[in-house]
C-alpha cells in the first residue's frame, strides 16, 4: 500500500498459495470510502463505485441498512427516567432549541428523550446540501440490491448499539454544546471535510475523523477499525466483497487498510 495516495477505491487480494487469512480468495475484493451525506459532491465517484459493486458477489456497508430501517432504534433514546432537560442547562437548552427549530423545523421538545449525539448528527446532516433523495451509502445499497448482490452489514446493529451505549452522556452534551456555540466554525470544518472527500484525501479525512471524535476516538474510530478489518477479512474467505465504509476509517496506522495489510492482504489503490 503506497502512503499518502489519494483514492477512495482500494483493491484487496492475496498472492496465490500464500498462508495468509485471505489465501482462498479467487478474485479481488474492493473497499470504497464513502460519506453518509446527500450532498452532490460526494457522488462524483458514483459510477466507479457501481463498477466495483458489479464486479463482486457481495456488497456490504457498515450496517445492514435493511435491518436498520426495520429496527425501532431504541438505542438512540436516553435511559428510562432521563430527559435532555435533565442533562442540559436552561441557557444551553434554549440555544439548542432555537437552532433545532431553525434547522430541523421541529421543537426540541420532540427530541427530549433522545441522546445528545442524535441531535449532533441531525444538525450535521442539515448543514450540507440535500441534493439527492438518499445518502451515498443508501444509494449504493439500493443499486447493489437492484442488481442481485448479496447484502451484508460489516458491523451488527448490536455492535453499534454497544458503541453508542458506551459513549459518555457528558461527552455527548459537550460535543453538542461545542457545535451550537460555534456553528460557523463547525460548518467550515464540515465543508472542508467534503472538499477533502472530493480530493479523495483519505489521510486528511482520517485526521479529521480523529479530531471530531475527540475523547471517543478509540471507541468510534480505532476499535471499530479493528472490528471492520477483521469482519472484512472474514467475509472475503467465502465471497468476493465490495465493502463501503466511511472514508475516515481507511487511512492511518490504525486504519482499516493498514490493518488488512498486516493480515497479509495486498492493498492497492484504484485510480
Residue-wise pLDDT for 28-72, tens only, equals 999 999 999 999 989 999 999 999 999 999 999 999 999 888 776
Report the candidate in 29, 9, 5 with the shortest Cα–Cα distance to residue 265.
29
Residue-wise pLDDT for 199-246, tens only, equals 999 999 999 999 888 888 999 999 999 999 999 999 998 999 999 999
What's the pTM? 0.89
- In this predicted structure, which of 18-27, 72-81, 171-180 has the lowest mean pLDDT? 18-27
Q: Compute the distance between CA of residue 196 and CA of residue 223 in angstroms, rounded to an integer.
A: 24
Q: What are phi and psi of 207, to 5 degrees?
A: -65, -40
Copy the grid coordinates of residue 76: 438512540
- pLDDT band at residue 26 using 50, 70 and 90 as cut-offs: low
Residue 7 has pLDDT above 60, yes or no: yes
Residue 10 has pLDDT above 80, yes or no: yes
- In this predicted structure, which of 4-13, 14-23, 117-126, 241-250 has the lowest mean pLDDT? 14-23
Amino acid at each position: 500500500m503506497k502512503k499518502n495516495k489519494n483514492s477512495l477505491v482500494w483493491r484487496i487480494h492475496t498472492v496465490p498459495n500464500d498462508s495468509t487469512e485471505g489465501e482462498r480468495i479467487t478474485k479481488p475484493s474492493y473497499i470504497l470510502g464513502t460519506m453518509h451525506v446527500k450532498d452532490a459532491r460526494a457522488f462524483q465517484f458514483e459510477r466507479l463505485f457501481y463498477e466495483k459493486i458489479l464486479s463482486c458477489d457481495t456488497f456490504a456497508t457498515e450496517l445492514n441498512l435493511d435491518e436498520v430501517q426495520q429496527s425501532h432504534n431504541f438505542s438512540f433514546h436516553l435511559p428510562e427516567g432521563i430527559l435532555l432537560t435533565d442533562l442540559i442547562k436552561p441557557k444551553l437548552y434554549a440555544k439548542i432549541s432555537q437552532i433545532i427549530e431553525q434547522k430541523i423545523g421541529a421543537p426540541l421538545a420532540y427530541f427530549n428523550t433522545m441522546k445528545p449525539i442524535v441531535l449532533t448528527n441531525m444538525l450535521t446532516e442539515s448543514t450540507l446540501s440535500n441534493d439527492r433523495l438518499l445518502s451515498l451509502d443508501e444509494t449504493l445499497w439500493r443499486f447493489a440490491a437492484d442488481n442481485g448482490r448479496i447484502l451484508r452489514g460489516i458491523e451488527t446493529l448490536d455492535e453499534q448499539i454497544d458503541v453508542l451505549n458506551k459513549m459518555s452522556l457528558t461527552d455527548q452534551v459537550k460535543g453538542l454544546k461545542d457545535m451550537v456555540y460555534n456553528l460557523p466554525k463547525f460548518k467550515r470544518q464540515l465543508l472542508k471535510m467534503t472538499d477533502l472527500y472530493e480530493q479523495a484525501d483519505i489521510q486528511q479525512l482520517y485526521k479529521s475523523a480523529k479530531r471530531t471524535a475527540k475523547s471517543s476516538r478509540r471507541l468510534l474510530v480505532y476499535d471499530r477499525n479493528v472490528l471492520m478489518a477483521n469482519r472484512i477479512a472474514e467475509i472475503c474467505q467465502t465471497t468476493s466483497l465490495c465493502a463501503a465504509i466511511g472514508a475516515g476509517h481507511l487511512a492511518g496506522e490504525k486504519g482499516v487498510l493498514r490493518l488488512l495489510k498486516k493480515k497479509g492482504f495486498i492493498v492497492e489503490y484504484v485510480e
